[in-house]
Structure 1
């Protein structure tokens, strides 16, 4: 197989879609100002309803659209931003610079999950708190601090198909914010990107997933590996290497580069963790440079043929449906073209 030179995923254009949403409008609608604005920025009077949604804890009744929203799950930030959802507080410290809300000082910052300021959530007087991923461990504390708010956690559940969980998350939030068409669009574009990869992938092509962090190349296991593990299940990829007791550690599993080389993958998929959290630090080396210049990997088929596809630079802090859509489209581009394309991103600094 010849995919071509290293390619880094880029953001696609507008997304359009079609997938069934799961939320039930309840009784009694009343007119009130909602949190949304038109595309032109004009205030709009949305019809506020109570709806039932299903999250990881069960059925919950929430106002739609909610008046005050706190967002903590970084899988959701890009969608909320693209929909124009106004936030009363958010974990802005977890937002990548690619999100315009990251530096919006008008949104109180809850901080990151290591040292969050949960009192910021209280001050926001939220109707809804969107938790998940890094903040899931704080759910009980948050519920105690804001008992009148509805906490929603749509983090992909263990044991469920990851792609279906991303669809569920997106469509449920679309119902909550009365952005059903926009949510549908994201899902349909996601589905199209999956179909492209399925058609282009040559069954039997061996695939390796790695994470680069701190100058190291670490292994990401099929299914359980952080971010890229579920991709093996979505596409039924043939893994170049499988190891016992693999983990979902955020830096990947520390196995020798020689072991990776011995597996001789045809295709290498990469998440550059440091591109999202340490690209401005001295000593940062982009993923493609680490892999292509590693002495142990020089004779690996994927490296010799340039069959390396790198996830978007902000992936580690932006792991939502749009990130995967972008990555899958870049992967499909490489597989379809047979020659890939160089990227101006992830070049050595």
Structure 2
């Protein structure tokens, strides 16, 4: 009888310990789950609501991953689209979009490319506004509506500043990896073109046609990307380095006599009827080495004049000038 009692007590103790172990295991599991949940919440809470970036004016604080953006800078619009955040755009200068950005014609018009509609923008209640140099006069008024950034291109160091602008947009929208992939691809294309352009030793000049008037652009100008990034040799490195270029005559072209002439038709870019063919067929132009060798290359005016530093626009510009070295 005593053996039976001892056996019962032993079994009871064993079951008690097992229950205790089960309870401890359950508590540990619950604790682990709770810790994981808290960690998850903590990770979410660590996502910043604001981020400090550097634009062309200096340091500026903007919302992180803004949901509603008004964009006047077509190059920024282009880059946002490639990075997969084009759906955040709620307003743009829709009447001055290059054809390749025509998908954004359906967003709200935020005014003209040189005159933002402040009342309309205020109604849109954007989280962020992105401008180009054409809206600089309105920057303070726009900043009063929402954080506003200005991304310009340094004409003395074109590609570096373009990369910086792309990285800034990538930081704002949390798209750094995609931006790095896109820029690596562009860098590879640029390196190939640059080597071919240098090897060709062909002199080049980029000319803008505007209602029959001509302007030439050399290094340090708005189109210096042709020289400092794409590698073409400027036929004249003393041209005035201005936004609008240096006014020239047809005789100037014959005097400088470049091997390659690249043409941007501003009139065409802004909806006029002037055709580049009138420039190409000009008798004096045809007398140049470029004219005689059929080396006058018409560039996509809307891309070069209205954009020119976005991810897709750079790719299109590379394709535009590629025939010069083929």
Fold match by TM threshold 0.5: yes
Matches within 5 A, 1:1-349: 30=44, 49-82=49-82, 83=84, 84-104=86-106, 107-144=107-144, 146=145, 149-157=146-154, 159=156, 161-201=157-197, 202=199, 204-224=201-221, 226=222, 228-235=223-230, 237-243=232-238, 245=240, 247-249=242-244, 252-279=245-272, 281=273, 284-285=274-275, 287=276, 289-315=277-303, 316-321=305-310, 322-335=312-325, 337=326
Structure 1 residues 49 and 330: alpha-carbon distance in aligned structure 2, compared to 1, 3 A threshold: same
Higher relative contact order (CA 8 A, sep 6+): 1
1:89 alignment partner, SS class: strand
1:76 alignment partner, SS class: helix
Q: Point out where structure 2 has 5 or more consecutive residues left out of the alignment.
A: 1-41
2:187 alignment partner, SS class: helix
Task: Render the CA deviation track for 1:290-342: whole Å, top value 9, x for unaligned.
Answer: 3331111222111111112332242222222322322223423441x2xxxxx
Question: Which structure has the greater CA radius of gyration?
Answer: 2
2:248 alignment partner, SS class: coil
| CA apart distance, 1:246 | 5.2
Greater helix proportion: 2
Aligned residues: 279
**RMSD, aligned CA:** 2.4
| CA apart distance, 1:204 | 3.8
| CA apart distance, 1:244 | 5.6
Structure 1 residues 236 and 87: alpha-carbon distance in aligned structure 2, compared to 1, 3 A threshold: closer
Q: Output the CA distance in 1 between the equivalents of 2:63 and 2:241.
A: 42
| CA apart distance, 1:59 | 2.7
Q: Assess if the C-alpha contact under 8 Å between 1:222 and 1:233 holds in 2.
A: yes
| CA apart distance, 1:80 | 2.2
Q: Output the CA distance in 2 between the equivalents of 1:102 and 1:92.
A: 7
Q: Output the CA distance in 2 between the equivalents of 1:66 and 1:51.
A: 11
